[in-house]
Amino acid sequence: MAAQHTPLYTLTGSQALALLKQNAVTVEGYASALLERIKDRDPTVRAWTYLDPAYVLRQARELDQIPQDQRGPLHGLPVGVKDVINTQDMPTQFGSALYQGHQPSLDSSAVAILRAAGALIFGKTTTTEFTVANSGPGTTNPHDPNRTPGGSSCGSAAAVADFHVPVSLGTQTGGSIIRPASYTGIFALKPTFNAVSPEGQKMFSPTFDTFGFFARSVQDLQLLSDVLAIQDDEAPKGTPLEDMFIALMKTPMWPSAGQGTIAAMDKAVMALRESGIQVQEVDFPPDMANAATLKRIQKIICMSEAQESFLREYRMDKSKLGPEMRALLEDFKSTHKERVDATDTYNDMRRIMNGLSLQYSAIIAPSAADEAPVGLDDMGSAIFNTMWTGFHMPVVNVPAFTGDHGMPIGLSLVASRFRDQHLLRVAMALVEPLVNKGGWRAEEGSRQQ
Amino acid sequence: MAAQHTPLYTLTGSQALALLKQNAVTVEGYASALLERIKDRDPTVRAWTYLDPAYVLRQARELDQIPQDQRGPLHGLPVGVKDVINTQDMPTQFGSALYQGHQPSLDSSAVAILRAAGALIFGKTTTTEFTVANSGPGTTNPHDPNRTPGGSSCGSAAAVADFHVPVSLGTQTGGSIIRPASYTGIFALKPTFNAVSPEGQKMFSPTFDTFGFFARSVQDLQLLSDVLAIQDDEAPKGTPLEDMFIALMKTPMWPSAGQGTIAAMDKAVMALRESGIQVQEVDFPPDMANAATLKRIQKIICMSEAQESFLREYRMDKSKLGPEMRALLEDFKSTHKERVDATDTYNDMRRIMNGLSLQYSAIIAPSAADEAPVGLDDMGSAIFNTMWTGFHMPVVNVPAFTGDHGMPIGLSLVASRFRDQHLLRVAMALVEPLVNKGGWRAEEGSRQQ
């Protein structure tokens, strides 16, 4: 039994739930092990912005009191929650000086659903100011304290990568889930847009804002997806590796790829082909925008929506907004006509790309430009992520490879809208060729299929 | 001076603000007059679900204490707030048994902006369960207590129509602003989608959910629009009546129009032409969906999004959901493929219709099928509204005509996305031919241009 040989904190969520179900461990015992780990490590990692150990243990004991036959499917599963996602029992401060001590009255939609299923809402993880800023909280990459874990879901990614909790919640408007998952070497799912209601997470750009989550196994992503009612039209069938057909898509952003990502894409092709999987390099369709236009369109939609979303904060007290927020609200200019045209063009591209993706088992694309950058002030670029967010397509980060500095480099698996469960099955099948044959390993514990 | 000859409660917001600015009346005095009116009338109208007169007066006195040179542009303007829009100082119950006594921690985006501009947030107005149900709160039409004021912004429409407050806030997913405005004989603006952030209003269908407001004059709509930063690319110029070009659009839903609406559209054409305005009857473009397809597409998008939005309530305690909510969550079925196709098709129609509307000063279309129906259990149909909501186009209801039973019948003025200010200028110019020459008059007070 894993629990007898490895520390409890290294278990995946699915492994821990199995032990809880067998009464081999109590929720309190499990939570205590995680709290110990956090106590040891968080002075370095700084993943948490709010964590009350006494309250965690009180909740854990209450869960232990629930009779076995009344327990939910996530009974006792510790969940970290990004601090732009509302929790009714913990402050939610959006990484903003304006909201210090703010205590929401309701859980977000996702937190409410997970809590109702028995999850132990553990604490709040760090984020950047309103997820807009790209620096700030001082969270470090668990694999190198001199590097960023990536923004803006920095705390949620670092907490899972460093074994503080098995799973955590995040949001992605550009690349705020998939990029930190890549930088910290863990799995993550950004589901299809609106497959999970974003209610109760701070709005930034409603066309892009997407809820998602981090884990150290595909099975844990599956577990949360099932409870959150993420369903395909048809129950996905397991596809044998030899029947898979993968599109390798470097995307128009490829000139931004660094050596680590270039090498990772090459290694992926080799590993997949060695496993008998058909891989075809596929260009963006010729009627799609080029890189410059795509970036411009995304920026116009996202920034103009953000100006509406944050008008209230600007009017409340602009002196409490940081420089990136001020620049967004005061300096960014675009016309409504540009925005309307950008939105209509983007709708067209969304349809084209979703249609194209239906021809393949999945698309493989970069999750980030390279390894996590050195330093904590630059939390990396969303350049390889924003398009999939805007196309509303589900994305799984697979922590496959290692860069020149020994840091993880993930790859994105992408499918068409509302094929999330299919995508998870593909990811599960590709763990063997990509992760187990890839170069990346965490120092402690093991990622499970 | 109006205040010396007519009761204070009959003033429009703009008129009241002028008196407040001149110190001809205090906020407390004005609020007291409204509270008296409500005390007299609300036992019949039942527009309010939460109203604390002592708290209103306390806020009013605090506003009166603010030095003249520190007062905001809406200083002392009483605003009613639909009970699906969060208020940090008043319960917000979403018309739902699940949220009895629920007290939000934050104002909605719009409430925060209006409050920061000096508005007096007066109380919460009735709505139907989560705005999804089409019966429930027992609010009556101020012009006939045996008729509905229309849903789901019933309380906000009735409160303004009955002179309880000069302006009020609502939301529209199908026709929940424009229809009640038509039924109660007042003006309303449903702005361009997302021109005002919907943050802090309960989500129903994110593709359709739109914030808007009610008033008894176009100037009051303008006042709120300005404070909420609703702006066109170009400052609108006043167009002389003889240079206007209006598209009369009966829409594919025309077979649902009753005698009152048929007559109102005819009368509108005559009145406009008599004023020298060019009017052209315009069909929906041939490449748009027919009525049945349009209704089906709208239903698929709206209902499937709603199933995600309300999953949390279903999981929390489905026994506290009413029959319409249960039917939505348990019985409605569509595939993701249907939803994706519907969304993509709707995006195309949105672009076509917005492009078409740019050829005209405005489109005139029905606001409702007919006068407000008799009885309180059927709050009317959104059949003439949902398409404009989904096309994301701004709509003003103009309370122009009277039906066979002496009840008001409004017409919708529609423009393309982000031409809200232009639309308000057109509405202002058309008050003379449409409202002053139309048949509808409220018993008390007068609507002002």
Do A125 and A152 meet the contact criterion of CB atoms below 8 Å apart?
Answer: no
Is the Cβ pair B104, A109 closer than 8 Å?
A: no
Interface of A with B (CB under 8 A): 102-107, 109, 112-113, 116-117, 194-199, 202-203, 206, 229, 232-233, 305, 308-309, 311-312, 315-316, 335-337, 339-340, 344, 347, 350-351, 354, 417-418
3-state secondary structure B348-375: HHHHHHHHHHCCCCEEEEECCCCCCCEE
Residue at token pair 């899972």 = A160
Is the Cβ pair A102, B105 closer than 8 Å?
A: yes
Is the Cβ pair B340, A418 closer than 8 Å?
A: yes
Chain B's closest residue to A338, CA to CA, is B233
- Which residue in B403, B402, B397, B400 sits closest to B384, CA to CA? B397
Which one from A108, A109, A152, A205 is the annotated catalytic residue? Answer: A152
In degrees and rounded to multiples of 5, residue B8 shows phi and psi of: -55, -35
Dihedral sign for Cα A316, A319, A320, A325, please: positive
Residue at token pair 């963006």 = A284
Q: How confident is the model at residue B444 (pLDDT cuts 50, 70, 90)?
A: very low
Q: Is A168 a catalytic residue?
A: no
pLDDT by residue (tens digit) across B146-194? 999 999 999 999 999 999 999 999 999 999 999 999 999 999 999 999 9
Do A402 and A373 meet the contact criterion of CB atoms below 8 Å apart?
Answer: no
Q: Tell whether domain A2-284+352-436 is in CATH 3.90.1300.10.
A: yes
What pLDDT sits at residue A360?
97
Using the predicted structure, report yes or no on whether residue B69 has a pLDDT greater than 70.
yes
Q: Where are the domains of chain A?
A: 2-284+352-436
* Distance spanning both ends of chain A, measured CA to CA: 17
In Å, how far is B401's CA from the nearest CA of chain A? 34
CB atoms near residue B291 (< 10 Å):
16
> For residues A99 and B401, what is the distance between their CA atoms, to the nearest angstrom?
48
Do B197 and B85 meet the contact criterion of CB atoms below 8 Å apart?
Answer: no
> For residues A86 and A103, what is the distance between their CA atoms, to the nearest angstrom?
8
Angle between helices A291-309 and A336-357 (to 10 degrees): 120
For an interface test with B, the pick among A94, A130, A308, A317 (most B C-beta atoms closer than 10 Å) comes out as A308
Is the Cβ pair A340, B347 closer than 8 Å?
A: no
Using the predicted structure, report yes or no on whether residue A448 has a pLDDT greater than 50.
no
What pLDDT sits at residue A373?
97
Q: What is the mean pLDDT of residues A35-47?
A: 98
Q: How confident is the model at residue B440 (pLDDT cuts 50, 70, 90)?
A: confident
In Å, how far is B104's CA from the nearest CA of chain A? 5
Q: What is the mean pLDDT of residues B71-88?
A: 98
CA dihedral B226, B228, B233, B234 (to 10 degrees): 0
pLDDT by residue (tens digit) across B225-280? 999 999 999 999 878 888 999 999 999 999 999 999 999 999 999 999 999 999 99
Interface of B with A (CB under 8 A): 102-107, 109, 112-113, 116-117, 194-199, 202-203, 206, 229, 232-233, 305, 308-309, 311-312, 315-316, 335-337, 339-340, 344, 347, 350-351, 354, 417-418
What pLDDT sits at residue B446?
40
Q: What is the mean pLDDT of residues A31-57?
A: 98
Beta bridge partners of A171: A211
Is the Cβ pair A194, B206 closer than 8 Å?
A: yes
Q: Is A446 a catalytic residue?
A: no
Do B417 and B192 meet the contact criterion of CB atoms below 8 Å apart?
Answer: yes
What pLDDT sits at residue A404?
93
Please confirm whether the linkage preceding B152 is cis (ω < 30° from 0): yes
Contacts of B315 in chain A (CB under 8 A): 112-113, 116-117
pLDDT by residue (tens digit) across B109-143? 999 999 999 999 999 999 999 999 999 999 999 99
Is the Cβ pair A206, B203 closer than 8 Å?
A: no
Q: What is the mean pLDDT of residues B409-426?
A: 98
Mean of the per-residue pLDDT values for chain A? 95
Using the predicted structure, report yes or no on whether residue A435 has a pLDDT greater than 70.
yes
Angle between helices B27-45 and B13-21 (to 10 degrees): 150
Token couple for A90: 């913990």
Mean of the per-residue pLDDT values for chain B? 95
Token couple for A361: 């088992």
Name the residue among B117, B194, B316 with its Cβ closest to that of A206: B194
Cα B245 to chain centroid distance, Å, stands at: 25
Q: How confident is the model at residue B448 (pLDDT cuts 50, 70, 90)?
A: very low
Using the predicted structure, report yes or no on whether residue B445 has a pLDDT greater than 50.
no
CA distances from B324 to A304, B136, B303, B331 (A): 36, 11, 12, 10
Do A37 and A56 meet the contact criterion of CB atoms below 8 Å apart?
Answer: no
Q: What is the mean pLDDT of residues B49-72?
A: 98
> For residues A314 and A325, what is the distance between their CA atoms, to the nearest angstrom?
9
What pLDDT sits at residue A287?
81
Beta bridge partners of B172: B210
